[in-house]
Amino acid sequence: MVINGKTKLIGVLGDPIEHSFSPFMHNTVYEKLGLNYAYLPLKVEKEQLGQAIEGLRALGFIGVNVTIPHKENIMQYLKEVSKEAELMGAVNTIVLTKGGYIGENTDGKGFLKSLKEEGFDPKNKKVIVLGAGGAARAVAVSLALEGVDQVCIINRTREKGEKIAQIITEKIGVNCTVHNYDDKLDNIFKQANLIVNTTSLGMHPDVDKMPPLNPTLFSSNHLVVDLIYNPEETKLLKLAKQQNAKTLNGLGMLIYQGEYAFKMWIPEEEVDFKKILDI
Ligand code: ATR
């Protein structure tokens, strides 16, 4: 990839940013498609987000991703936030336009695409979400908007689950219940079609951890998704597989949230797929 005076700039704002997969993913695609764009990792501390955003405009960036710890704070600098991002309370993709910054959240869309690729249609299904942080909210909101019948949040801290449940019930109109890991969960698991782990339990290097669930709750009726992609197969997914559940990791979501962001920044007419094939 050659950077020159015509190169258009994109990036990701976060702290830490050293381990982000996004620069590699986007730059590889630009190179394969012969696009004159560059995607930069930009380490920005929490207190300097406002200045960084102004700097992006001055430098002519066409868009950025935002990640931890900026996904919520970024909202105050945006002219417009999509309905989905607003419900998720988080923005991960920004397009810089002359009129102002537009915020979107592509995590949910990426998650849904990875489910569809697996042949799973969320419509009218019953889902269990493990955890109640930012990732849980994005997953629960996207599933509710996609027409699931019921969301059940299981979380260590009930109050955090209740905050998400209130949004799902009152703003989207989908039934949402909240439970602890200590509750009797047999019936909930019996009725569920999809279980999604949004906690970081089991992520490298703590590969022996998992949410505190009895593995016999899983069955062949379930698709069990872990948003973790390192390791590729978490302890939770291994145990679910042993109970004959279908399993899926978070790699698809990671890639597809990037694909949706790519499509927001780069006009379709600039993308020439013949270049990928080198013909
Ligand atoms: P993110 O924004 O990436 O989703 P987060 O806000 O830190 O991350 O949320 C992590 C989730 O993992 C939370 O729901 C957390 O439970 P609490 O709400 O009770 O804090 C859950 N989690 C983290 N460590 C846990 C543990 N040891 N046992 C059970 N749940 C845990």
For residue 231, the number of C-alpha atoms closer than 13 Å in the C-beta half-sphere is: 14
pLDDT band at 119 (very low <50, low <70, confident <90, very high): very high
Quick check: 276 pLDDT over 90?
no
User: Would 8-104+253-277 and 108-248 be classified into the same CATH topology?
Assistant: yes
| Percent residues over pLDDT 90 in the chain | 95
What pLDDT, on the 0 to 100 scale, is given for residue 274?
A: 78
* Ligand 1 center from residue 159 Cα (angstroms): 12
CATH of domain 108-248: 3.40.50.720
Contact status, residue 23 vs residue 40, Cβ threshold 8 Å: yes
Phi, psi of 228 (to 5 degrees): -70, 140
**Domain spans of the chain?**
8-104+253-277, 108-248
Mean pLDDT for the chain? 96
Q: What's 269's DSSP letter?
A: G
Q: What is the mean pLDDT of residues 183-188?
A: 98
Is 22 annotated as belonging to a binding site?
yes
Burial of 16 (0-12, 13-18, 19+ CB in 10 A): exposed
Burial of 244 (0-12, 13-18, 19+ CB in 10 A): exposed
Q: Is 92 in the pocket of ligand 1 (CB under 6 A)?
A: no
pLDDT band at 275 (very low <50, low <70, confident <90, very high): confident
Quick check: 279 pLDDT over 70?
no
Pick the CATH number of 8-104+253-277 from 3.40.50.10860, 3.40.50.10880, 3.40.50.800, 3.30.70.380: 3.40.50.10860
Buried-exposed string 39-71: b where 16+ CB fall within 10 A, e elsewhere: bbbbebeeeebeebbeebeeeebbbbbbbeebb
* Ligand 1 center from residue 79 Cα (angstroms): 31
* Ligand 1 center from residue 65 Cα (angstroms): 23
Q: Can 71 be counted among the known catalytic residues? A: yes
